[in-house]
Amino acid sequence: MNTNKAPAYKHLVLLGGGHSHVSVIKSFGMKPVPGVAVTVVCRDVHTPYSGMLPGLIAGHYGFDEAHIDLDKLCAFSQINFIHDEVVGLDPITQKLKFRGRPDLAYDVLSINTGSSPDVNSVPGAKEFAVPVKPINSFLDHWNKLESRLENTDKSVTVAVVGAGAGGIELLLSVQNRINDSLIADGKNPSLVNYKLLVSGDELLPTHNAGVRKCFKQKLTERGVQTDYMSRVGEVKSNGLVLENGSFIEADEILWVTSAAAPAWPKLSGLDVDDRGFIKVNDKLQTLSFPNIFAAGDVAAVVNHPREKAGVFAVRQGPPLMANLRGFLLGDELKDFKPQKTFLGLISTGDKYAVASWGPLAFSGAWVWRWKDKIDRKFMNLYSVLEPMRIPAVEIAPTVLGSHKTPDPMRCNGCAAKVGSGVLTKVMRQLRDSHPALFPALSGDDAAVLNVPKEKSLIQSVDFFRSFIGDPFTFGKIAANHCLNDLYAMGVQPHSALAIVALEPASNERQEDELKAALSGALEVFTPLGVLLAGGHTAEFSEPGLGFTVNGFANESQIIPKQGLKSGDDLVLTKALGTGILLAGQMRLATKGRWIEEALQSMMLSNHTASEVFFEHEAESCTDITGFGLLGHLLEMIGENDDIAVEINMNALRELSGVKHLLAQGIASSLAASNNEALNSVDVSKIVSPEMIPLLTDPQTAGGLLGAVKAEKTLRLISALQNKGYDKAHCVGRVVERNPGDQAIKLI
């Protein structure tokens, strides 16, 4: 982590993870602009590279070879990453809008969200055809389609609508993959028929005659039926109705027609062309708002119209990066000058490709190898990354704006508190949206809580530094984590006090961060009716969040931590491994999809699990957090020398990617201290020693570990899984301890 960075006074938001933005992300990581916070917002964690999509479909590349891991790239660049989808933009207030989270304010915005085939202009296309973009959505459908085609025992027809490079590449790649699979299974490849529908009288209308000739020959050789002058008028579940009235039967319809723009840019008031794409000038600035830039398919460079292709988005990356940097620093912006002639490389699905350069065309297996080398070189720029440190430098006057020059020695103690205006403003905004969860803002420095008669006040506190650049998601996780101690006791939470650490920044930036974090927490508190009674904020070099949480209960109804009895089974509600995954993320070794699964696990509340344990008369319960499974299990055993616990190592469940990281020797920094618990463990019968580090891995917002009588275990696990805890499992059992035995045995 770079703890020597300057306070943030401007916010650059990169919307979308397209080909132009990946170079911008890495550039701002290699050379940040002091005083500028950068956030990437994308609906995908892994952004696909269009140049390798046909090879992925054909079976020549694996998923990771053809995708850029945005989470990893942002971690490398020390840039915030928000995994969500934007549904609107207010360029006047300079805020992005989401469906289920607070608006995101920006000072400078860049849009690189791509495009999708037009499925709205043809009736039935949206319902019955599969668009090739967004690519990740297509890949989800492709996996199902591939399975259906591979397992077919009758004739099937696949129709591809669109005769540009994308449509032909996709068709030939699908055919190559399915033919290989059918032959491997001893089936006849001719079971699957392929049709290409061409709206005009020529394939590849934007390419030269030599390229068109090569592909006409290739399609004939591969037995693809090509139907010219076949403009589709309607799509049905069993085929296509052409504008001339004829009908073409098809079992699967892939839609690769001309690109369509998303609706929200026009609705947001951006100047768009007649197809809805954002108009930009030669500097890639929108015509309507100079602080908003756009590139790639979603943009239309008014002075240089081009077809929608990945090659142009890639080439717009460096000038976009230079102009975003220049705009922030007040430098003169430069014109983007696209090539008049560019190299086109189109694959045929079978490690063969066709190249074009102006009027020239050439083809062969060597062209595919050339294309493969170019594609891999591009991908390596954004996948082969090493952690780095970046020193802070002087903040430019254009970034500082009207703010005072920051004091190089930020105060500590009470002087490190965030300004009262920031806290008051945010708390009033949140109270307006959640009035039932906020006591009246009386100005007092302490919350007044009335303890019901014959009830005890149960209180817990926890706090930790943020490990992700999305304060809203972190707020959810922190709230879940802090409530876990109450859940483990079977106590209903009542109220909370927030403890917030914010990075030094402008008041506006701190307001946004604070509101996002507390809004995330309120997503957890609201369904429970938990009051957010107040809190404390302070400035630190890194953001953090915690809560003091309160609950009321009859002491006789509290589930004890130390109530284990011989014969009990131990049930854990979640998989293990969050510490290992987060440690791997800091080392750029954890894949984004693994982190996404871990975040989903951390955002899963244990509230319902607590109720299920109570209903099944759990005799003991704790939550698995910082001390790991072993450390918290030893707390449950306590000083009771009459019992021991057997952990079934084969029964443990770990999050995706954990075994891969363990094999690399990656562990959390707290694991070394937690390993002291191994002194109380008998490992003489263990058969999986490589998984021992999982037992001492510190968990964030981990699962509940409860003990129940053995005859209730199956019913308990079934009830938990029915309530959404699909990873709930029995990890071991409580047994009698013989003199001299260790407290825990691994079997």
Q: What amino acid positions are annotated as catalytic residues?
A: 414
Phi-psi region of 402 (alpha: psi -120 to 50; beta: other; left: phi over 0): alpha
Amino acid at site 192 = V
CA angle (227, 231, 232) in 5-degree steps: 105
Residue 274: exposure state from Cβ atoms within 10 A (0-12, 13-18, ≥19): exposed
DSSP assignment of 59-124 equals TSS-TGGGEEEHHHHHHHHT-EEEE--EEEEETTTTEEEESSS--EE-SEEEE----EE--SSSTT
Closest-CA residue to 380 (of 80, 69, 591, 139): 69
Tell whether the torsion through CA atoms of 670, 675, 677 and 681 is positive or negative: positive
Instruction: Give Cα separations from 399 to 78, 80, 166, 226 (angstroms).
Output: 19, 18, 42, 57
Do 203 and 213 touch, CB atoms closer than 8 A? no
Quote the CA–CA distance of 199 and 227 in Å, as a whole number: 8
Which residues are within 8 A (CB) of 42 and not within 5 positions of it... i.e. 6 or more apart?
Answer: 15, 16, 17, 70, 81, 82, 83
Two structure tokens written together for 136: 């990740």
Backbone dihedral angles phi then psi of residue 563, each to the nearest 5 degrees: -130, 25
Spatial CB neighbours of 408, under 8 Å, sequence gap ≥ 6: none
The closest alpha carbon to 167, from 123, 126, 215, 217, belongs to 215
Q: At a CB cut-off of 8 Å and minimum separation 6, what does 546 contact?
A: 461, 462, 463, 464, 478, 482, 498, 499
C-alpha 4/C-alpha 112 separation (Å) is 30
184 contact partners, CB below 8 Å, separation of at least 6: none
Report how far apart, in Å, the C-alpha atoms of 653 and of each of 649, 708, 723, 731 are.
9, 19, 18, 9
* Other Cβ atoms within 10 Å of 386 Cβ, number: 7
Distance, CA of 647 to CA of 636 (rounded, Å): 14
Q: Specify the 3-state DSSP secondary structure of 447.
A: coil
Start-to-end Cα distance in the chain:
39
C-alpha span between 43 and 263 (Å, rounded): 16
Residue linked to tokens 């500082």:
400
Sign of torsion over alpha carbons 596, 601, 602, 605: positive
DSSP for 215-281, written as a single string: HHHHHHHTT-EEESS--EEEEETTEEEETTS-EEE-SEEEE--SEE--SHHHHTT--B-TTSPEEE-
Alpha helix stretches (DSSP H) within 330-388? 365-383
| Cβ atoms of residues 128 and 237 within 8 Å | yes
SS3 call for 159: strand
Token pair in block for residue 53? 């999509």
Helix (H, G, I), strand (E, B) or coil at 724: coil
> What is the dihedral angle through the alpha carbons of 142, 144, 149, 153, rounded to the nearest 10 degrees?
180
Angle at 241 between CA 145 and CA 196, to 5 degrees: 50
C-alpha–C-alpha distance, residues 161 and 231, integer Å: 9
